[in-house]
A and B are shown apart, each in its own frame.
Chain A
Amino acid sequence: MEQQSHITLPKGSIEKTTTTLNIGPTHPATHGVFQNIMEVDGERVVSTEQTVGYIHRAFEKLAERRPLYQITPITDRLNYCSSPINNMGWHITCERFLKLELPKRVDYLRVIIMELARISDHLICNSIVGVDTGAYTGFLYVMQYRELIYEIYEEVCGSRLTTNIGRIGGFERNFTNTAFTKLEKFLNEYPKVLREFENLFARNRIFMDRTQGTGGISAERALNYGFTGPNLRAAGVDYDVRVQQPYSSYQDFDFKVPVGTTGDNYDRFLVRNAEMYESISIIKQAYQKIQNFKGAEAEVYHADVPEYYLPKKEDVYTKMEALIWHFKIIMGEIELPKGEIYSAVEGGNGELGFYLISDGGRTPFRLHFRRPCFIYYQAFEELIKGGMLSDAVVTMSSLNLIAGELDA
């Protein structure tokens, strides 16, 4: 039926049948600074253009003037839902580059922290998917348990969100008994809660209808788009950096790599949930291994590398050598060896890579972050094209896009 328009268009003009819709840069549905310029036909998405860069902070340029240890706080601000993994990834890159050997206990302590970070990352993502499908309860409920994780960070490094946890060569201090008590509390209470959280969603008719078959991608396309992490595994590819190129002694642990089949929002949710169970199991194993250390070995929390690891404050005040190292490290006067390295860890969103080039100076000549978010966000248009606008919102949160990581 011909619709009567009250606007008289100039002769020869073609009437646009779609609507342009701006979602973002600040919008309650985007959970972060994202802009999408969508072309919608009714409620169907015809096309979209993602605009990124709203919180670009030139980390790669900043890193070119900083000694290695000052780059750790920059990595905090990449994926801030799991900053400890970024911190550790950076430390591991440095240690591999400088060829430092780490004691096993340090590796296991790091594994605990990294897996806690993975849990908190996946927890946020999955509960936000819940929020976007209309179920707020799960989100509010699990926040209490993310709080327990943050308290453990706080006990280990003193801060909660941008952690700057650990140092090149180990940790800044040993884990206190309180930290282990808090860890035990978390390990006791959390699995039950996770089960409840899963029951709330996994077989929930509304949730299944909203997520199944939306935002799906085939394994082939996902690989071509450079997907990694849970999003790639949801499409059925069992690639996990922890297994393929173990770092921090991940080869000592027994865990499964959960995979999905269709790569849709529902599979991503299930994969993340399953990974949280695996993370709990890894933490338990690591805690067990740590308790098995006896005598002096049970107190080790850093490697013996005076060139990179700050000496104790008492020693700085009383010993000449310690004072020299302290000064040299703080002032960034340690010359790096020449060379380049690419090193990756399994971040919350996938392969978080650091490409470091050194020309023998005191700061990196070039540092490039491979940010998984940035790479797979390109596929967003393909994931939502032809679908409903409300599914696009769910797809966006189920990809776990973190603006900090995207924009670096």
Chain B
Amino acid sequence: MALSNETIQNKLIEKFGDQVLNFSTASGILSFESPKELNLKVLQYLYEEPVLGFTFLTDLCGVNYPDNKGAELVVVYHLHNFSENIRLRYSVSTSIDETAVFTASKLFESANWMERETYDFFGINFIGHPNLKRILNVDEMDYFPLRKQYPLEDQTRIDKDDEMFGRG
């Protein structure tokens, strides 16, 4: 049976009721959200339910929406079912003050580093992660650089001493 976006949506609603919400389809990929407390339950259901079989975690990343008060940070999971060749996007949001989200690294080994990367850039605290520390940035860094509150340096600034870099 070919798996379609409608089937996935119906199965999810059947299992989680109104806890799964905001279904939409953009360029062929179904995306939906759920409260962050449910993320492991939803991922595990998607993984283990034989009809769905989303056993491959393609990508995991964070997004920062500074204007969404109470849901500033979002964790986006891209899942893939190879045998049916269908992708799925699932996201949970969390407030920037209380960034705890359950780790998916027990379900997918690949989530380990991707969660470390998300922690490194957005400061999302993955509960239960075996080794949650910075991965690409230096350990001493005291901020989370991909949050929107840290803008890139103004390229027109003139107060910088370029002589140190041989450009004086």
- Chain B residue nearest in CB terms to A378: B113
Asked if B7 CB lies within 8 Å of chain A CBs, one says no
Number of A-B contacts (CB under 8 A): 86
Which A325-343 residues sit within 8 Å CB-CB of chain B?
339-343
* A221→B27 CA distance, assembly (Å): 30
* A244→B57 CA distance, assembly (Å): 16
30 contacts between A and B (CB under 8 A): A56-B136, A61-B145, A64-B152, A65-B152, A97-B27, A223-B56, A224-B108, A224-B109, A224-B110, A226-B57, A226-B109, A239-B82, A245-B85, A340-B26, A341-B26, A342-B29, A342-B59, A342-B78, A342-B89, A343-B27, A351-B58, A355-B76, A355-B78, A366-B63, A366-B64, A368-B59, A378-B109, A378-B110, A407-B136, A408-B136
Q: Is B114 in contact with A375, judged by CB distance below 8 angstroms?
A: yes
* A224→B59 CA distance, assembly (Å): 12
Task: Add 6 more A-B contacts to A65-B152, A226-B58 (CB < 8 A).
Answer: A60-B146, A224-B110, A355-B76, A365-B63, A370-B59, A375-B113
Q: Contacts A53-B136, A368-B61 known; A375 to B78 CB distance under 8 Å?
A: no
Which B21-44 residues sit within 8 Å CB-CB of chain A?
26-27, 29
Encode A362-396 as 1/0 by CB contact (under 8 A) with B.
Answer: 00011010100011111100000000000000000
Asked if B87 CB lies within 8 Å of chain A CBs, one says yes
Q: Which of B114, B117, B146 contacts A61 (CB 8 A)?
A: B146
Asked if A84 CB lies within 8 Å of chain B CBs, one says no
Encode A215-245 as 1/0 by CB contact (under 8 A) with B.
Answer: 0000001011110000000000101000011
Contact size range, B: 20 to 34
* Nearest-Cβ distance from residue A173 to partner chain B, whole angstroms: 30
Asked if B55 CB lies within 8 Å of chain A CBs, one says yes
Asked if B4 CB lies within 8 Å of chain A CBs, one says no
Encode B59-76 as 1/0 by CB contact (under 8 A) with A.
Answer: 101011000000000001
Chain B residue contacts of A195, Cβ below 8 A: none
* Nearest-Cβ distance from residue A62 to partner chain B, whole angstroms: 7
Q: Contacts A226-B58, A341-B26 known; A62 to B152 CB distance under 8 Å?
A: yes
* A104→B72 CA distance, assembly (Å): 43
Q: Which of B58, B110, B113 contacts A353 (CB 8 A)?
A: B58
Q: 9 nearest interchain CB pairs?
A: A226-B110, A53-B136, A56-B136, A368-B61, A370-B59, A225-B109, A224-B109, A378-B113, A341-B27
* A342→B63 CA distance, assembly (Å): 14
Which B112-168 residues sit within 8 Å CB-CB of chain A?
112-114, 117, 121, 134-138, 145-146, 152
* A65→B152 CA distance, assembly (Å): 8
Asked if A135 CB lies within 8 Å of chain B CBs, one says no
Asked if A29 CB lies within 8 Å of chain B CBs, one says no
